[in-house]
Chains A and B, each alone.
Chain A
Amino acid sequence: MKISQKRIVTAYVFLAIPLVFYIVVRFYPMIYAFWLSFTNWRLISPKKDFVGFDNFVKLFKDKVFMTSLWNTIKYVAYGIPLVIVLSLFLAATLNKVRHLQWFYRLLYVMPYITPLVAVSWVWRWIYQRPPAGVLNNILMAFGLDAQPFLTSMDQSLPAIVVTTVWVNLGYCIIIYLAGLQTIPQEYLEAAKIDGATSRQSFFKITLPLLNPITVFLVVTQSITFLRIFTQVYNMTDQGSGGPLNATKPLVLYIYQKAFRSFDMGLASSATVILFMLIMGITLIQLLVLNKRVQY
């Protein structure tokens, strides 16, 4: 046996248990959901009839579905740039300080480790209209007008994006920090000796070396934002994704169809669309971002 063949065998041996796990625990349910998307299964009913593409036709005729599809894209478009840039900036700043670094890290990660239900409740109160809303009280103290936030068609989705960024920021900072720690100091010192400013060395050395981490964060955060659910459910009236569906993401639509209307067929076909959306975005990101590392 050649060495390369031996390596291939080793690789498959290492992957054997995980692959069995994935096939049973993840792929099988996934394929099951794909199959259900072509049926009219009503969850608590024993009947499952094959209906072809009926569910998909129904979906694209449903205004609420189209709104939630569009909202889902908005969550990613607003959230990802914000969370990536902010966390990179904070991690780089944090990496510079010598004292109390661990303490700041702990404070930043606090929102992430707090149960999301509790976080959502607190933010719901922060966004209240007067007299209760903390944010509005601050605005009014500066002589500004009170804002409707969660009861507005335009502001409610960005408000939830801000909460989500606030939750995920600590996670991204920690991962960026772990990446920054693995950059050899010699590289940066060599650049300094060559007369590079700290800004130059950040963009020319640090950022390219961090690329695998950035790829990881962009891809996984995009998936997280595309699957946004808990905070919307807990921050809107009756978990409706309101007002008037202005904040409803796809997963909430799927949830309502499956567990409120028991329309598992329709929920499954919406899941297939969500899957294709996430897969498309992920593949594009992997292609574009991984290319950039080949400088």
Chain B
Amino acid sequence: MKRALLLLLVVSVIFAGFAGAVKITYWQYYYETKVKLVDQLIEEFEKQNPGIEVEHVTFPYENFNEKVAVSVPAGVGPDVLTLFYGWIPLYVTSGYLVPLPEAEFSPEYLNSEFFPFVSKGIQFDGIPYALPTAVRSLALFWNKDLFAEAGLDPEVPPTTFAEMVEFAKKLTKYDDKGNIIQEGLTMQPSGQGHQWIREVLVRQLGGTPYSADNRTVLYHMTAPETIKVYTDLITKDKVGYPGFLNDDVTAFRSLKAAMTIDGSFRLGTFRPLENLNWGVTELPSMNGVKSNFASFWAHAITTNATGDKLDASIKFLKFITSEYAQTLWLEQVGELPANPNVAAAYYDHPEFGPFLKGLEYAHATFFVDESGQRQVLMDAVDKVWIQGMDPIKAFEEAAAEDQAIIDEFWSRVE
């Protein structure tokens, strides 16, 4: 009888322990190495913080928005969610994200621990809402074998835009009917191309994409030639076109494109390919100007987290954005650290180096509707090369549509 009572006592203590534990839910899209690493980090975090339990839920990348959109109204959403920084305005104005508490994440902390574009990119109306573990930027990948085949030095990639165009022409191959069978440079605005146009080419041509308050589109006025510079590569120089071999990544990985502009997340795609002999270098400069586009996925706390759950979520957020987590992230997932102190050790790394250097002069676009604003530039390029529209006019139309998206957003918010 005594023994039974004792057992009962032990059991109830265990249950009480469970009941006392705070359980928070963390959501991110599925990417094998990330999921493994986060599982490992959660285990360590739970050890350091007894009484906090983290449930890790993943879903396919393609269906991120469906999953969130359906779960949130049903009240099943996460306490901590990893989302693309470009979606922050949409999520914040829907009232779904909790501002980062200043006590834990002071401006000084953010400025010293993260790249400058990060502290800007996580803000809405001057208030920070999310923090990244890793960041990404753009660079130029080139295929060394195809360079050698075309009589170019396989170890010397182009450094200026003019040089890149000249190389691309030499690297493009056609069949006897004039169809491209090997691209000199991939031309895919739907991939990273639209970012390259908006944040890199516009600035290199002396322009500014948006006004300082991000409410006015300026690119068509400050750099009206931009789309022409891009589409000339398709229509005049004929070094590639959108959709060649389906998409830029496929073209490059199947050795049918000599150069491609892509993000640091692509390292993991190209690295295991044994038949692909590639190098990566900083984006080519133009008119002596260097520019780059930076972006990131960031972890944010949602309105689900209140009371104990909020405290636990803050602790978890701090932990997965710590220098320790960032180092593991770089080693196991292969993404660039968001903290310049962690990044410093890798500046001369042959693969990470060009991207990290790019981060120094990178800009993160303020998107109010990321897919809509991407579509606008994709359409501008299509209008020129499919419909034969004047590129200056196509760029003006793009700006008008972009402005309409921005105006619509602010009219709703205010």
Contacts and interface: CB of A to CB of B under 8 A. Distances in A.
Interface of A: 40, 42-47, 124-125, 128-132, 140, 145-146, 148, 150-153, 237-238, 240, 242-244, 256, 258-262
Contacts of A40: 412
Given A151-B243, A243-B386, A262-B90, A131 B190 contact: no
Contacts of B256: 131
Contact of A260 (B65, B72, B93, B94): B65
Interface string B1-32: 00000000000000000000000000000000
Contact of B244 (A129, A145, A244): A129
Contacts of B190: 237-238, 240
B179 A243 contact: no
B382 A244 contact: yes
Chain A contact surface mostly: loop
A43 B245 CA distance: 37
8 contacts: A43-B69, A130-B175, A151-B241, A151-B386, A237-B242, A258-B69, A260-B372, A261-B372
B288 interface: no
A159 to B, nearest CB: 13
A159 B87 CA distance: 34
A237 B243 contact: yes
Contacts of A150: 243
B243 A129 contact: yes
Contact of B72 (A43, A131, A146, A151): A43
Contacts of A46: 95
A252 to B, nearest CB: 12
Interface of B: 65-66, 68-69, 72-73, 90-91, 93-96, 175, 177, 179, 181, 190, 241-247, 256, 369, 371-372, 374-375, 378-379, 382-383, 386-387, 412
B242 A244 contact: no
A124 B91 CA distance: 34
Contacts of B95: 44-47
B189 to A, nearest CB: 9
Contacts of B243: 128-129, 150-151, 237
Among A47, A146, A237, max chain B CB count under 10 A is at A237
Contacts of A132: 245-246
Contact of B386 (A129, A130, A153, A240): A153
Given A132-B246, A260-B372, A261-B371, 8 more contacts: A125-B246, A129-B244, A132-B245, A140-B177, A237-B247, A238-B378, A244-B379, A261-B372
A242 B175 CA distance: 27
A43 B375 contact: no
A44 B91 contact: yes
B36 to A, nearest CB: 26
Contacts of A148: 386
Nearest to A131: B181
Contacts of B382: 242-244
Contacts of A42: 93-94
A131 B386 contact: no
B179 A146 contact: yes
B343 to A, nearest CB: 30
B62 to A, nearest CB: 8
Nearest to A256: B371
Nearest to A145: B177
A27 to B, nearest CB: 20
B73 A44 contact: yes
Contacts of A45: 93-96
A29 to B, nearest CB: 12
A43 B74 CA distance: 10
Nearest to A261: B369
Given A244-B387, A259-B65, A128 B181 contact: no
A48 to B, nearest CB: 10
